[in-house]
């Protein structure tokens, strides 16, 4: 039997890419010393007490245990050796016996038990848990962003006291006297902070653990959000502006960190729908946020909107902290089959090197990247216009605060449905070899953006509430179809630098967050429905121009600067937190054995002692 024993370093000084070919190892066994136990435990080897055993036990006794007959094994201590049936059946990487379905090669994503082997519950793929919690995180933070937009109705609308449902809510309305320009400046300051933190966020998320950065930026923004009710009512306009600026600066890490997490947890053949699912959360936030904010303001009091939204973000953060790790190799509960599936389907783009420099000059002068920046700018212009001003726009048609919150969410429902659908459309088109990735990205982006531009032009001719809601919902639905066009395109250009590309395009797109509220404030200062026409003309032109540039210069192919240069020697990073220190495979084929029948086996005690011996030698040398 040819057994390949591969050990991946938990400690780079002791084990760095060690490989041992040991067909018939005969290795002196270590005694039962504390040093041996520490080394074996540090290597992540299960059942180390059984492997070391009493100091008087010899290597020959271990060998005899491995070759014992079934009758003899029934009388042996179960903690020191396994039955031949279990050894013949094979084991998982966590030390548990393989189930029949696993030996037969059945997909572990559907049939694996939990990783500790103590539960018969179906195994939920860890990458789906990461995607679900990422989507939920995007949703709660965008739900929180709607708070100020709904509060502005109660401040700017002179008849707000007639549009709330209870005396308590009526008496607790904000007493500040702000005009439209002050409100729009407050919105702008959030995106100024967002803009200034983009490039630092792109650099830092390439150095820090992206899962921690993603969770921390949401927790930071939620903590500041709790302070806004007191600031608006008692501390004054300047303090409120400072808080909004800091919130924006904190949330600048949101997209670079999320793309960094998804880089490690998604594969090329699933990336379209999984990334689209996460981006759906950004649009679903308005679906939850607007009705929740409207109902709480209408029936209870406007301050509680901020407390509820912040509480949801904080609860999400603790769930994220418990269940999400930076990489699959860091997750102790991922199954071996899922781990191998992710690594196999990611290719070499996820390999990290010590001496690899980011090609900023090539990235900034790349036409596909510039077209992405324009699409991101158009996206921010539309989303920010609606998040900050949609409730105010619909209030022109005489809706109450509660009705306004519910109706404001309808276009975002259509956006979420179409965004989710677009991921499956893109993946389905990928199955046809006649359609290149470039064609698919341009098709979805061009159709979505051009149709949305036409809808915004149509809004300038409408004067009543129902047609406005229908056309606005259509506009957002067409925009959702484009998400799996341009917004997934970062991974096409360079999976390795996806978070860098996102930070660059987000930095440019954040300018829309600064400009949009100011432009809207100028056009909407007359406080009537006709003031919106100029805003819609500009919006339509921006979206149409972005679509044309992407169709002409966009690309779905990996760019030349995405791969490391060939004239340098690369040093691969050693990950001290990697979960799997070793994998042992039975590579000897049995008669009539197929590739599906190959199973993972535990290393023999002799092999483990050999590794411990090498670790001990390396540690003593240091």
Using the 3D structure, point to which of 511, 530, 562 is the last residue of a domain. 562
Residue 271 has pLDDT above 50, yes or no: yes
Residue 88 domain flag: no
Write the pLDDT tens digit of every residue in 165-178. Answer: 677 767 777 778 78
- The verdict on 520 and 597 lying in the same domain is no
Say whether both 352 and 449 belong to one domain. Answer: yes
pLDDT at 478: 92
Are 136 and 49 in the same domain?
no
Q: Are residues 594 and 550 in the same domain?
A: no
Q: Are residues 135 and 252 in the same domain?
A: yes
Identify whether residues 534 and 603 lie together within a single domain.
no
Question: Which one has a higher pLDDT value, 163 or 85?
Answer: 163
Query: Do 503 and 591 share a domain, yes or no?
Result: no
- Looking at the structure, do residues 131 and 271 belong to the same domain, yes or no? yes
**Residue 515 pLDDT grade (very low, low, confident, very high; cuts 50, 70, 90):** confident
| pTM (2 d.p.) | 0.62
Give the confidence band of 317 by pLDDT, cuts at 50, 70, 90.
very high
Asked if residue 14 belongs to a domain, the reply is yes
pLDDT tens-digit series, residues 590-611: 455 444 444 444 556 666 666 6
**How far is it, in rounded angstroms, from Cα 587 to Cα 289?**
55
Does residue 352 belong to any structural domain of this protein?
Answer: yes
Residue 575 confidence (pLDDT):
59
Cα–Cα distance for residue pair 362/345, rounded to 1 Å: 27
Residue 33 pLDDT > 50: no
Cα torsion 270, 274, 276, 278 to 10°: value is -160
Structural domain for 215, as ranges: 126-562
Q: Is residue 96 part of a domain?
A: no
pLDDT for 453 equals 93
Contact 451, 414 (CB under 8 A): no
Go through 581-602 and write b for each residue having 16 or more CB atoms within 10 A of its CB, e for each that does not. bbbbebeeeeeeeeeeebbbbb
Total structural domains within the chain: 2
Q: Is residue 229 part of a domain?
A: yes
Q: Give domain status of residue 225, yes or no.
A: yes
φ, ψ for residue 142 (rounded to 5)?
-75, -25
- In this model, does residue 311 exceed pLDDT 50? yes
What's the CATH number where 530 sits? Answer: 1.20.1250.20
Q: What interhelical angle do 303-323 and 271-299 show, nearest 10?
A: 150
Whether residue 82 lies inside any domain: the answer is no
> Is residue 28 exposed (0-12), middle (13-18) or buried (19+ Cβ within 10 Å)?
exposed
Asked if residue 535 and residue 418 are part of one domain, the reply reads yes
Assess whether 506 and 592 both reside in one domain: no
Q: Is pLDDT at 70 greater than 70 in this prediction?
A: no
Q: Counting Cβ atoms within 10 Å, is residue 566 exposed (0-12), middle (13-18) or buried (19+)?
A: exposed
Please state, rounded to an integer, the average pLDDT across all residues of the chain.
74
User: Looking at the domain assignment, is residue 99 inside a domain?
Assistant: no
Does residue 600 share a domain with residue 543? no
Q: What is the pLDDT of residue 131?
A: 92
Residue (of 207, 221, 215) closest to 130 by Cα position: 215
Assess whether 400 and 528 both reside in one domain: yes
- What is the reported pLDDT for 123? 85
Assign 2 a pLDDT band (cuts: 50, 70, 90).
very low
Return the minimum-mean-pLDDT range out of 159-168, 304-313, 502-511: 159-168
């Amino acid at each position: 039997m040819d057994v390949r024993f591969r050990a991946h370093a938990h400690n780079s000084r002791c084990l760095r890419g060690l490989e041992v070919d040991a067909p018939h190892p005969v290795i002196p066994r270590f005694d039962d010393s504390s040093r041996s136990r520490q080394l074996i435990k540090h290597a992540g080897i299960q059942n180390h007490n059984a492997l070391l055993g009493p100091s008087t036990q010899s290597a020959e006794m271990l060998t005899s245990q491995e070759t014992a007959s079934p009758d003899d094994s029934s009388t042996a201590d179960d903690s020191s050796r396994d039955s031949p049936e279990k050894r013949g059946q094979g084991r998982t990487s966590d030390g548990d016996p393989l189930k029949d379905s696993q030996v037969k090669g059945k997909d572990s994503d559907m049939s694996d038990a939990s990783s500790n082997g103590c539960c018969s519950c179906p195994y939920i793929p860890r990458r789906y848990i990461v995607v679900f919690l990422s989507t939920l995180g995007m949703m709660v933070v965008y739900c929180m962003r709607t708070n100020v937009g709904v509060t502005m109705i109660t401040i700017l609308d002179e008849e707000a006291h007639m549009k709330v449902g209870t005396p308590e809510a009526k008496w607790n309305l904000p007493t500040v006297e702000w005009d439209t320009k002050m409100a729009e400046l407050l919105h702008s300051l959030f995106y100024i902070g967002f803009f200034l933190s983009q490039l630092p966020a792109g650099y830092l998320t390439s150095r820090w653990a992206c899962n921690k950065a993603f969770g921390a930026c949401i927790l930071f923004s939620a903590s500041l959000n709790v302070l806004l009710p007191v600031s608006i009512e008692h501390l004054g306009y300047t303090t409120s502006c400072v808080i909004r600026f800091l919130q924006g600066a904190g949330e600048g890490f949101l997209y670079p960190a999320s793309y960094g997490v998804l880089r490690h947890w998604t594969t090329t053949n699933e990336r379209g729908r999984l990334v689209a699912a996460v981006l759906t959360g950004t649009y679903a936030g308005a679906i939850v946020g607007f009705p929740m904010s409207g109902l709480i303001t209408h029936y209870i009091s406007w301050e509680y909107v901020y407390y509820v939204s912040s509480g949801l973000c904080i609860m999400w953060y603790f769930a994220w902290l418990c269940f999400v790790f930076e990489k699959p190799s860091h997750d102790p509960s991922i199954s071996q089959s899922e781990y191998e599936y992710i690594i196999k389907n990611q290719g070499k783009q996820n390999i990290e090197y010590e001496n690899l420099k980011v090609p900023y000059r090539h990235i900034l002068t790349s036409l596909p990247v510039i077209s992405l920046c324009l699409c991101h700018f158009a996206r921010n212009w539309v989303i920010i216009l609606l998040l900050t001003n949609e409730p105010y726009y619909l209030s022109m048609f005489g809706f109450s605060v509660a009705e306004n919150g519910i109706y404001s969410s309808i276009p975002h429902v259509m956006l979420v449905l179409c965004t989710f659908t677009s991921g499956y459309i893109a993946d389905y088109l990928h199955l046809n070899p006649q359609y290149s990735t470039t064609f698919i990205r341009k098709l979805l982006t061009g159709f979505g953006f051009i149709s949305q531009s036409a809808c915004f032009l149509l809004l300038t001719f409408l004067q009543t509430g129902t047609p406005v809601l229908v056309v606005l919902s259509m506009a957002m639905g067409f925009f959702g179809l484009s998400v799996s066009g341009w917004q997934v395109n970062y991974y096409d250009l360079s999976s390795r630098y996806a978070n860098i590309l996102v930070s660059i395009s987000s930095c440019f797109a954040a300018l829309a967050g600064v400009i949009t509220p100011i432009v809207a404030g100028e056009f909407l200062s007359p406080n009537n429905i006709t003031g919106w026409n100029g805003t819609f003309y500009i919006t339509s032109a921006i979206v149409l121009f972005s679509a044309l540039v992407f169709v002409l210069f966009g690309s779905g192919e990996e760019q030349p600067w995405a791969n490391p240069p060939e004239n340098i020697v690369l040093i691969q990073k050693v990950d001290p937190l990697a979960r799997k220190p070793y994998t042992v495979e039975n590579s000897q084929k049995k008669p009539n054995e197929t590739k599906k029948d190959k199973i993972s086996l535990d290393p023999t005690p002799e092999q483990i002692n050999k590794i411990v011996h090498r670790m001990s030698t390396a540690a003593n040398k240091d």
